[in-house]
Structures are given as structure tokens and as C-alpha cells.
Chains A and B, each alone.
Chain A
Amino acid sequence: MRILVVEDEVDLLRSIAQALREEGYAVDTAANGEDGLLNAENSDYDAIVLDVMMPKMDGWEMLARLRKSKKTPVLLLTARDQSRDRVRGLDTGADDYVVKPFDLPELFARLRALIRRSAGQTRNVIEVGDVTIDVAGRHVARGGEAVPLTAREYALLEYLALHRGELVTRTTLYEHLFDENDSTMSNLLDVHVSNLRKKLGAEFISTRRGHGYCIE
């Protein structure tokens, strides 16, 4: 999952980005609304964490402009907790909001819920055959037994499972699993796929030659 964080407070931006990366997300950052809008319009993020009070272009304006072209889920970070501010944010097109100061676990939970909803899922547990994926706890089990996965493997599995039945191209996977600072080589994706097949069964992920991957 790839997330854009737009926040003008440098220390806050850095720590949110670090925390999200440690949760297994690919994270891009922007320090003001203009940069944030540029990033958001040029990439398909799974979610955007957006501060409201920013220089150059504030969060509301950036959101309003983004909504002309993108449906990316947006979580507003706001120091303004008055009802009319929250209403304004939600009406402009935000999907959820967190009031500063916030707890990181809550921010993560809200982000997970946003991503899950935008993929059309309602539950935190996805079952594919005898494999269960607990999105909230980031656990994977096969036939009741826990399967240890690396962060990359898990991110790949989660993305494919959330888009179950869809053909997911390699480009899409690159876009959503790796941030702009990742220097990945294309064959790395094949390595993760083959590792997942070893752990969850050869038939678990099917390959469409020249197109991409799919979980049936």
C-alpha cells in the first residue's frame, strides 16, 4: 500500500512517514499543498494523509483541486476540531479525519479502514481458500497455522487479496508497493511472488503472462 503524507511541520512529517514505513506501507511525503497536489495527481496512492493548515495551499484547497481528477481516499489531519471545520473537510471530499494531537494506532486503524473500504471490503479478515489474512493484525494463516511473511511479501499478498478476482498488473504493483525512494529492480517482484507461492501453495497466485497476477 502506498501512502502520501502532506504536512508542513517537518518533525511531524518525518515521524509519521517513519511510523507508516515501519507498518509496511510505501510512503511519499510533501511539505506543502502544492507539492502534495503534484504528487497526488501523478501517482495512484492508496490513501493520502493531509494536514489542513499549510503554507502556499491549505489542505482544503488541495483536496478540492484533487477531487477534480482523483478519488484517492483522503484522511485529514486537523488541529481544528470544531464541528464546522470537520463538516467542511468531509464535504470538500475528505473520507475521514483525525484531530491533532492523535495516537498513532488510531491513525493506522483509520488508514486501514479507508483502504479496505476503497477496495470494497467490509471486514478486516480476508479468506481465500484455506488461507486467512488478518489485515488489522497483519497475520496470515494457512489451515489454522501461522505463516511467517516478510513485510514486502505481506504487502504484495494484501494488495492482491484486497483486489481479489482482478488482474493486477506489474506496473500497478510497483506503484502501490514501492515509494519513490525505493530502488527496486523488476525481478524482485517475481522473487516475492515465488516466495508467497512456496508458503501458501503454488496455485494460490496465478500468473497471466505479459499482464500480471491475480488471486482467484
Chain B
Amino acid sequence: MNDELPMTNAGKDAGAPSSIHHSSFSFFNSIRWRLQIWYGVILVVLLAGFGATAFQLMRGGTYRRVDDELQRRAGELSQLLRQPFRNRGQEGRPGDRPERPFDRPPENQLPDGPPRGRDFNFDRQGPREFHLPDRQAAFFDEADTNGFYFIIWRRDGSELARSTNAPVDAVDFLPRAPMPRPQNNGDGPPKDWIRLPAQLSPHMHGQFREIEMRMPPGERILVGRSITRQLSDLRKTALMLAGTGAGILLLGLLGGWWLASRAIRPIEDISATAAKISRGDLAQRIDVSETESELGRLASVLNSTFARLDAAFTQQRQFTSDAAHELRTPVSVMLTQTQTTLNRERSAAEYRETVESCQRAAQRMRRLIESLLELARLDAGQQPMKHARFDLAQTARDCVAHIEPLAAARHVKITSELPPLPCTGDSERLAQVITNLLTNAITYNKENGEVRIEGETKDGSVILRVSDTGTGISAEDLPRVFDRFYRVDSSRTSGNTGLGLAISKAIVEAHGGQMEVTSEFNVGTAFTIRLPLS
């Protein structure tokens, strides 16, 4: 981000062309940044979800293992509390206290009448003393501060026993409400009353995990252990998960940036090339080495567009420069004539000659300018064209009649074969085309040559052909005869502007027709006009 901002400003400062490129830049307008942000968000959500789930599973597993241990130990203790007389009866030796886990007086709160087969040696408060047998003591390693501990409360809340490593602030969480007195149905205490201790689900107490159990008569057993080590292990795991997640996120973002950059690079190439082209360097093309992708196809399309633009601009430039060149010669004539004449005093005849020469030059410029304007209007489609039905054969006959004096002067014979040729369009414009073709055919003909004009209707088209018996046009020149300012002899002496055929072709095409030329060297040339039949 911080890298990008100064670049953006530099781009703006660099001037107008690059501001086209950069002015609208912001992080939310940059595809790369948008991709990156989306990518990042998705990655963070996925990683966080995965990490949280993994941590939960791990913590649950840890607690369950601890809880299972606690449960087992609580079960052992409750077994001891529940079965005092079995032990005593088996031992049968008074005073052998350590062997007896409980010295349990008859339970007054038990249902009336001792249950059969049991020795109730409880006082009113339950067992008076409690001794942990070795087997059970092994479960509670009092030397280990992380070891399991237990606390047993009597039913009145006073402590019956406590392992030395039990925390001093361990609290009895079980409610103290008196146990409901079970219904005595006459055949002893209900089994579930004896067998099913109430239990408080495992809970945390500071750094300790504890479970608490209530024995049916009212004793409470609390078994716990410090899980500092497990907690610190879990913390380490959490940190590791977070670290791994951050690493993956970083790698993912870098990879995403790389991918986005790769994906964006062709667009940047296209944009840079387009910027160069907009600055006027029309020869630039986009590198389409990766042509198979969507962007490659876009680049190809753009390249062909650029090529067409380039060709159009080149043609336009050529036309403008040609037009300027064509105007240069008459201007040179006028300048040279007037400068020479004005150098000294001249006779009236000399002045007259100069003025006449200037007039000729000016008329030539007028012809040229009119032709250029006509062509420009035809190019722009602004030339007003009539849209009327007429007979092209009649138009052609009128043109022949007009041109006859020129043909006679050159000793050229005009023959015509003109059946009715119904057309739609501007007959004056098409007459201009025919006159131009006839003039060329006469001008470039041989002495005593022939010009033939013939028409036919064929395949929904009107065809008019003007052919001569002149010297013909070489194969090299033939494709260029319709080019603007193209003259077969590259001179200007004939007085034509070099635009006649170009204008004729433009007029025919404006009528939806085509114009073609065929020529054979030293045999003759034929121009064919093809117009839609009306």
C-alpha cells in the first residue's frame, strides 16, 4: 500500500498522458488490490475457522483426559465411602484401623431400620475418620504439586479428609440443600439412593480442574488436579496454531499477489501499449505471446484495431501531405513568376504574360481545392446525393455528346452500345464519373484510336464499361490507379489533379456500386462500373 501511493502521485505529476492511466487509481479501483483483499479475507476466515476448531478439539481432548482421570479417582473414593463394612467384616480384627478405610457409625438419616446385611457403624455426622488405603493413595501423589488431590466433606460440611496437596481455597460447590428423604417402601433403602451419587460436572477452579461428587448419605468428594502444565501446553499449541496460520496467511497473500500480478500483467501491457498509441505512436502493438488466454484474444482484437487505425491514419497523413505537395507547384509558379517580373521594369507584354501564368496557376489550385473538398465530403458521406430513378444509358449518351469535340480533336472515335439501364441515384454525379472515364480514355488513347462505351443488365446489376485502345496501364501501376494523386506518369503536365478516378470510385461506391479496371499493355484499358439494378 505504502509503495503504491507515491507511485500514484508520481504518475499524476508526470503529465497528461499518464494521468489518463493513473488518475482513477485507488485501492478499491485496482483489480489487483480488490483480488488481494478478497483473497486475504477468505484466507483469514478459513484459517481462523480451522485454527479455532483444531484448538477446541485439542482443548476438549485434554480436558476429557483429565476429567476421565478425575472421574476414576472420584469413583474409587466413592467406592471406599460406600463399602465400609465389607472391609471390616472381612478383617474381623478390632483395632486394625489402618486396614479399614472407614469407621462408619450407623446412619441416623438413613431410612429407618438398618438395611439387611450391612453393618452401619456411623455416628450422626457420618464417618468419623477416613484413611486412604495404599491402592487408592497411589492415585493421589501428594508429593507432586501437579498431582491429584481430594477433599472429603462430611454431610455437615466439616472436612473429613483432605490430601496434603489440595489447595487451601478449594470450595465445596455443591448445593447444601438437604437430601430428599427417600421413601421407605419396606424392603430396604432404594438402590438408586445408594448407588447413584449426585455429581457436579467437571469445572475449572483457578488453575485446577475439579469434579465434585455427593455421596448418598451426604458426604461430598472433591477430586481435582492442577492442570497448569496442560494449560501451558494448550497455550503453546494455540500460539503455534496462530503462528502457523499467520505464516500460511502471509504465504497465501504473497502467492495471491504473485498470481494477481501475473494475471494483471497482460492488462498492464495492453494499457501501456494503448497509452503509447494514444500519445501518437501508432506503430505500437501488444505482445500477444500468451494468445490462448482470454486476454490474449482481447490483445489480438485490440492489435487488429490498432492496425486498422494505423492504416487509416497513415492514409490520411499521406493524403494530406500529397495535397500539400500538389498545391506547392502552382504556388512555386506564382512566386517565381512574380519575383522575376518584379526584379526590374518590364514591358506591358511581359507583365501580361506573368499575370496569365499566375492565372493558370490559380485555376489549377482552384481545381485541386474543389476536388479535395469533394473527396472530403464523399469521405464524410456529406455529399448530397439525389435519390431518383433514371436511365443510365441516357446519361451516358449525354456524356458522349458532350465529349465528342475532344474526341474529334484527338481523332478518336467513340462507339456505343447502350440498352436501357434503369438505376436509382444521382444522375449528375454519375455523369461526372462517365465524363471522367471518357476523358481519360480519349486522353490516353492512340492517334485514331477508339473508345467504346457499352452497357448491360446482368444478375440484378447494371454494368457500364468504358474501354479504349490506348497504351494500357502496366501491371505495376494497375492496383494503384484509384489511389489519390496517383498518376501513371508521375507528372502534373496533363493538368489533371490525380484525383479524378478516386472521386469517381467514391461516387460509385456511394451509390452502392463497384468500380473495376482491367488493362493490357499496348492493347487498352477498360473501366467497369457496376450499380444495383433499379
Contact = CB atoms under 8 A, between A and B. Distances in A.
Interface in A106-122: none
Interface in A13-42: 14-16, 18-19, 22, 32
A55 B325 CA distance: 16
B339 A103 contact: yes
A58 B360 CA distance: 24
Contact of A19 (B321, B333, B340): B340
Interface stretch (A4-12, A143-151, A175-183): A4-12
A102 B493 contact: no
A12 B332 contact: yes
A54 interface: yes
B490 A54 contact: yes
Nearest to B492: A9
A82 B322 CA distance: 11
B367 to A, nearest CB: 15
A56 interface: yes
Interface string B459-503: 000000000000000000000000000000111110000000000
B343 A11 contact: no
A129 interface: no
A32 B494 CA distance: 13
Given A15-B357, A79-B325, A104-B339, A9 B333 contact: yes
Interface residues of B, number: 25
Interface in B293-345: 321, 325-326, 328-329, 331-337, 339-340, 343-344
Given A11-B357, A11-B360, A102 B491 contact: no
A97 to B, nearest CB: 13
A173 interface: no
A82 to B, nearest CB: 7
Interface string B107-125: 0000000000000000000
Contacts of A56: 489
Contact of A22 (B334, B344, B491): B344
Contact of A100 (B329, B344, B357): B329
Contact of B490 (A12, A58, A104): A58
A101 interface: yes
B361 interface: yes
A80 interface: yes
B340 A12 contact: no
Contacts of A82: 321
A54 B333 contact: no
Contacts of A79: 325-326, 328-329, 332
Contacts of B492: 8-9, 53
Nearest to B341: A15
Contacts of A105: 339
A212 to B, nearest CB: 34
A211 B329 CA distance: 46
B333 A11 contact: yes
Given A8-B491, A8-B492, A11-B357, A19 B336 contact: yes
A104 B340 contact: yes
Contact of A15 (B325, B336, B344, B491): B336
Which of A8, A12, A22, A105 neighbours the largest number of chain B CB atoms within 10 Å of its CB? A12
Interface in A193-209: none
A102 B337 CA distance: 11
Given A8-B491, A8-B493, A22 B340 contact: yes
A140 to B, nearest CB: 21
Contacts of B354: 15
A16 B336 contact: yes
Quick one: which of A11, A22, A53, A82 has the most chain B CB within 10 A? A11
A57 to B, nearest CB: 10
Contacts of B321: 82
A22 B332 contact: no
Nearest to A105: B339
Contact of B333 (A12, A53, A58, A104): A12
Contacts of B335: 101-104
A54 B491 CA distance: 5
Given A101-B332, A103-B335, A18 B340 contact: yes
A104 B489 CA distance: 28
A183 to B, nearest CB: 22
A101 B491 contact: no
Given A8-B491, A9-B493, A82-B321, A19 B339 contact: yes
Contacts of A8: 491-493
A22 B343 contact: yes
Contacts of A54: 490-491
Nearest to A98: B332
- Determine which residue in B326, B331, B340 has the highest number of CB atoms from chain A within 10 A of its CB, and name it: B340
B309 to A, nearest CB: 21
Q: Name which of B329, B331, B339, B354 has the most chain A CB atoms within 10 A of its CB.
A: B329
Interface string B343-358: 1100000000010010
A100 B324 CA distance: 10
A104 B493 contact: no
A125 B395 CA distance: 70
Contacts of B334: 101
A22 B493 CA distance: 26
A53 B490 contact: yes
Nearest to A52: B490
B335 to A, nearest CB: 5
A136 B335 CA distance: 22
A19 B357 CA distance: 15
Interface in A71-117: 79-80, 82, 99-105
B416 to A, nearest CB: 31
A198 to B, nearest CB: 27
A13 B335 CA distance: 13
A12 B493 contact: no
A11 B361 contact: yes
Interface of A: 8-12, 14-16, 18-19, 22, 32, 53-56, 58, 79-80, 82, 99-105
Q: Which 10 A-B pairs have the closest CB atoms?
A: A55-B491, A19-B340, A101-B332, A101-B331, A79-B328, A100-B332, A100-B328, A79-B325, A55-B489, A15-B336
27 contacts: A8-B491, A8-B492, A8-B493, A9-B492, A9-B493, A11-B333, A11-B337, A11-B360, A12-B329, A12-B332, A12-B333, A14-B357, A15-B333, A16-B336, A19-B343, A22-B340, A22-B344, A54-B490, A56-B489, A79-B329, A100-B328, A101-B331, A102-B335, A102-B336, A103-B335, A104-B336, A104-B340
Given A8-B492, A12-B336, A82-B321, 19 more contacts: A9-B332, A9-B333, A10-B493, A11-B361, A12-B332, A12-B333, A15-B333, A19-B340, A19-B343, A53-B491, A54-B490, A54-B491, A55-B491, A79-B332, A100-B329, A101-B334, A102-B332, A103-B335, A104-B339
